[in-house]
A = this chain, B = another copy of it.
């Protein structure tokens, strides 16, 4: 079960006193809030992403952190939003992208709201082996229109399922969307009305699309050949290395 970004915390993270509010609400990941959510996941026997939570880091800073619980209640992944929605949000920025394994099912990637506007985010978790990416969102404005396009595009260019789960009204603009690896919208909530979607996805579709190609044609993860030159990416002080241009397999 997936809930939107900062779902348990109303509309306070962009409030005028956001700094004070966040500090008051933040807990470390071994605090009572995480223990409660852990018990809830175990009690229900479900995989649970309760949106994201204000995390008090060891460094004293407050992060917007998505958490994943398995059906035993174990916290199997935590991801600090790398791209807080500045200048509106006061969260400290994370710097590490994260994936998580669902044994016997597949690998998921984590992404929070504005991360979806930076292609580096979905690209990184796809390369780390994510077959689906959960983007928990709290978008309140007209830019939800762009986000729906970005959700499809992030799915297409990485050949992953994208689940963009936005807060409903009156807080959020709604418009949640699930895209398959070819960019087809397979489920969604078109308006800002609250709702629950059940989406059944077959992660083998990721393998099928990557091997057979988008529309039977395009295999972007099979692009590189040995002997190809490195593609320089000065923007990242880095490059595409043809020998490592392949998503990692499940562990």
Residues of A within 8 A of B (CB): 82-83, 85-86, 93-97, 114, 117-120, 123-124, 127-128, 141-143, 145-146, 149-150, 152-154, 156-157, 182-183, 214-215, 217-220, 222-223, 225, 228-241, 244
Minimum C-beta distance from A78 to chain B (A): 16
State whether B234 touches A236 (Cβ < 8 A).
no
Given contacts A86-B225, A215-B142, contact A233 B236 (CB under 8 A): yes
* Distance of A248 from chain B, by nearest CB (Å): 10
Q: Let me know if B156 and A218 touch, CB within 8 A.
A: no
A156-B117 in contact given A146-B182, A229-B95 (Cβ < 8 Å): yes
Of the candidates B127, B152, B235, B236, the one whose C-beta lies within 8 Å of that of A153 is B152
Given the known interface contacts A83-B223, A152-B149, the answer about A157 and B119 at a Cβ–Cβ threshold of 8 Å is yes
- Chain B residues with Cβ below 8 Å from A150 are 153, 156-157
Among residues of B, the one whose C-beta sits closest to the C-beta of A142 is B215
Q: Which residues of B contact A83 (CB under 8 A)?
A: 220, 223
Cβ-defined partner of A218 (8 Å) among B114, B119, B124: B114
Whether B233 contacts A117 by the Cβ 8 Å rule is no
